[in-house]
Amino acid sequence: MDLSSLSLAKNEIKEELKTADSLAAIENLRVKFLGKNGVLKRLTAELASLSVEDKKQVGLVINEIKQEVETGLALATEQLSTQHKADSLEDFVKTLPGKKPEIGHLHVTTQAIREIVEVFKPLGFTRVRHPEIDWEYYAFEALNIPATHPARDEWETFFIDAPVDPKMSRQVITPHTSNGQIREMLKGDLPIRMLNISRCGRRQSDISHNPTFFQFEGLVVDKGINISHLKGVLNYFAKNFYGPDRQIRLRPYDFRFTEPSFEIDISCGICGGVGCKLCKGGWLELGGAGMVHPNVLIAGGVDPTQYSGFAFGWGVERVYMMKSGTRIDDIRHLLGNDLKFLEQF
């Protein structure tokens, strides 16, 4: 080994490094020059047979070659990755439609609430919300249901573990949205066309009851309001929500906060009102309604000799389930959070 043959080898190695055009080629060259049995190892081993003077000079050149190889390989690697990036941009087809990220949709109960709001909107009803935890006074007393009244048992109320107010009594998770009647009247802004849609709670759970559910409460207070207005509004709702061929009927009932009171039924969508397995007698029960009781008007600060009103309070989920086509056979599905169920709406 002499210096001139070494510098020849150095030039050849430089040329060879230029041919590295793939990761595999770079790796091959690395093994060939720097590997355990590589060229540089062999040259270094040969140093032993040289004189001290030659060792110095040849050693220096070997080191230069080693550095040359290392920078050459690093350079080739870098060039390759820049090239790769440029190539992959060229592959990018701008006209190819993108992949849409999966996004969810509104819960079926929210959809129902929005639909109900839209039906009542043209009649001038405005959606409001009143407390979902409220005093017993607003949920019962002011609605003409005193503490001793047996009707209070029917509500199966959740009571809040909090100090009792001497005037307002205990706090409850509102068992219905009728507390909104009093609170809306107490705003002192007449006439009223309210749609209070809020969450309610009752200690019940079965095929047609969830312990937490929504109700929508309508309240109209104005001069000269009578039963025909109530009938007209509810008929309008039934036809626009369920379909033009559906009929409603009023059945006398007793609610403490309305007088007279009614249960409102709708003709069955399956049999058209003649009677079938679902409805039995041709009618399905929607919910309660009636003319606001004078005591309730007084509790709301409204003069019953000047004003009258009607009210209705129905379950959102219940009303929605009765739409033909929804085929919801158990109200508890609505709170189940099972995507297989929810994705159908």
Which residues contribute to the site for ligand DAH (CB under 6 A)? 176, 178, 217, 255, 258, 261, 287-290, 311-313
- Closer residue to ligand DAH, CB minimum distance, 311 or 331: 311
Measured distance CA(69)–CA(37) in Å, rounded: 15
- Closer residue to ligand DAH, CB minimum distance, 250 or 342: 250
Shortest Cβ 146–ligand DAH spacing (Å):
16
Shortest Cβ 315–ligand DAH spacing (Å):
8
For residue 303 the two structure tokens come to 């003069």
- Closer residue to ligand DAH, CB minimum distance, 33 or 138: 138
Shortest Cβ 337–ligand DAH spacing (Å):
25
Shortest Cβ 345–ligand DAH spacing (Å):
25
Q: Do you know the residue count of the chain?
A: 345
- Closer residue to ligand DAH, CB minimum distance, 130 or 176: 176
The alpha-helical segments, DSSP class H, found in the chain are: 3-18, 23-34, 39-46, 52-91, 108-120, 136-139, 151-154, 179-185, 227-242, 294-299, 316-321, 339-342
- Closer residue to ligand DAH, CB minimum distance, 171 or 177: 177
For residue 264 the two structure tokens come to 């409102």
Amino acid at 85: K
Cβ count near 337 (within 10 Å)? 9
Q: Could you check whether the bond before residue 163 is cis, i.e. omega within 30 degrees of 0? A: no
Shortest Cβ 99–ligand DAH spacing (Å):
47
Q: Which helix (H) or strand (E) holds 192?
A: strand 192-201
Shortest Cβ 98–ligand DAH spacing (Å):
49
Measured distance CA(196)–CA(181) in Å, rounded: 8
Amino acid at 267: S
Shortest Cβ 262–ligand DAH spacing (Å):
8
CB 124 within 8 A of CB 193: yes
Angle, alpha carbons 78-81-84 (nearest 5°) = 150
- Closer residue to ligand DAH, CB minimum distance, 151 or 335: 151
The alpha-helical segments, DSSP class H, found in 141-209 are: 151-154, 179-185
- Closer residue to ligand DAH, CB minimum distance, 184 or 217: 217
